[in-house]
Amino acid sequence: MAMSDRLAQIPDSYFGKTMGQKVTHGPLPLINLAVGIPDGDTPDGIVNKFIKAVQEPENQKYVAFHGKESLKQAIVDFYQRHYGVALDANTEVCILYGTKNGLVALPTAIVNPGEYVLLPDPGYADYLAGVQLADAIPKKLNLTAPDYLPKWQQISQDVLLNTRLVYLTYPNNPTGSVATLEVFKEAVTQFQNTKTKIVHDFAYSAFGFDSKNPSILQVDGAKELAVEIYSLSKGYNMSGFRVGFAVGNKDIIQALKKYQSHTHAGMFGALQDTATYALNHYDAFLEQQNNKFRQRRDDITRALADVDIPFEPMRGGIFLWLKTPPHFDGEGFVEYLLQEQSILVAPGFPFGDNGHHYVRMSLAIDDEQLAVAIQRLQSIAHLYH
């Protein structure tokens, strides 16, 4: 096989393998609640900006490796406006071709072989691949119901002392849990003046249903050890554009930029112009998105509670973390829902050992289909009792 031993040791990406795959389901029309792709269209103004930007002669040539000044300034302005965080456009901002690229590249950029990386369990599945590609050692950051927050005192001192990087993600994918500023203060305090760095995956930042999601960079001293990775995919319905950015600690940003200078030749200029326009002009759209998903959260959780189907509190993000009925594991329940109710959901196991008796349901589906899915879910309440 023409594959390196290092690459061969990494399991196939679950969603890379299954996304778009044809599924066999029961007699009802299929409802896909498995993938977190925004169901709405990209706003017309953003699309029109992209069309015009493609036609610009300067965007048909190579651009600066580390991005246009206009996009970096838009990122700086966005963080100041939304979080009161001051950033230096040249030293504290790194533009990413999709946040996944940055999240997977980060261990290679700053972690040495054999060093520990703490990964949330449950948490986004592809963090692990980045750790393994760097020949680092993944360690579990155990998150438990109902809040799914780190409990640093439960981690052994040996692990803490040898950890180089910690991944956090709030709102959490897959659980829908959120972090307060106090939670981030505890994390920064825990690792201040150590060799450990923190990366906060802020992909679902726009979706905070009970209060606005804080940035870890709002904590005093956070930039001494932390970076935050922000995505335009979910809040702006721009998943196909593949635009994100990292902000924060200068040393980590420098390492990411160096890594990218050897793997990318700069983001397409038209994409940069479009992202700049979105960041500068669509704050109100982010609020609309939040309101839409809050209503969906309210609808499904109210309906499940009415028939005593247990679920974890969903305070942010776009996913509901649903406990399986007794005598089902996640994979078995996925198959049951697919064949009996024609509902496709994601099993919990790709998100870690703590996910084996859960499934993840995406609310990124139009309201009419969601209403039908809710009715079908209510009809299986007997499985829980």
Q: Where in the chain is the domain with CATH 3.40.640.10?
A: 61-282
> For all residues of the chain together, what is the average pLDDT?
93
> Token digits for 29?
């029309």
Number of CB atoms found within 10 A of residue 374's CB = 18
The pLDDT of residue 111: 96
Q: What percent of the chain has pLDDT over 90?
A: 83
Q: Is the pLDDT of residue 72 over 60?
A: yes
Q: Convert the pLDDT of each residue in 150-187 to its tens digit.
A: 999 999 999 999 999 999 999 999 999 999 999 999 99
Contact 330, 349 (CB under 8 A): yes
pLDDT of amino acid 6:
82
- Is pLDDT larger for residue 302 or for residue 2? 302
Cα–Cα dist 164/162, whole Å: 6
Report the pLDDT value the prediction gives residue 16, as an integer from 0 to 100. 57
In tens, the pLDDT along 108-164 reads 999 999 999 999 999 998 899 999 999 999 999 999 999 999 999 999 999 999 999
As a dihedral over the C-alpha atoms of residue 273, residue 274, residue 275, residue 276, rounded to 10 degrees, the angle is: 50
**pLDDT at residue 262, rounded to an integer:** 86
Give helix 283-306 / helix 367-378 axis angle, nearest 10°. Answer: 20
Residues 369-378: tens digit of each pLDDT = 999 999 999 9
In the chain, which segments carry CATH 3.90.1150.10?
5-42+284-380
H/E run at residue 191: helix 181-191
Alpha carbon 371 to its chain centroid, in Å, reads 25
pLDDT of 292 over the 80 cut: yes
Spatial distance between the Cα atoms of 139 and 122, rounded to a whole number of angstroms: 12
Which CATH number is 5-42+284-380 given? 3.90.1150.10
Q: Is the pLDDT of residue 22 over 90?
A: no
> What pLDDT is stored for residue 112 in this prediction?
95
Question: What is residue 20's predicted lDDT score, i.e. its pLDDT?
Answer: 59
Structure-token match 């001293």, residue found: 221
Question: pTM value?
Answer: 0.94
Interval 185-195 mean pLDDT: 96
- The answer to whether the CB of 199 falls within 8 A of the CB of 229 is yes
Architecture of domain 61-282 in this structure: 3-Layer(aba) Sandwich (3.40)
Average pLDDT over residues 70-88: 97
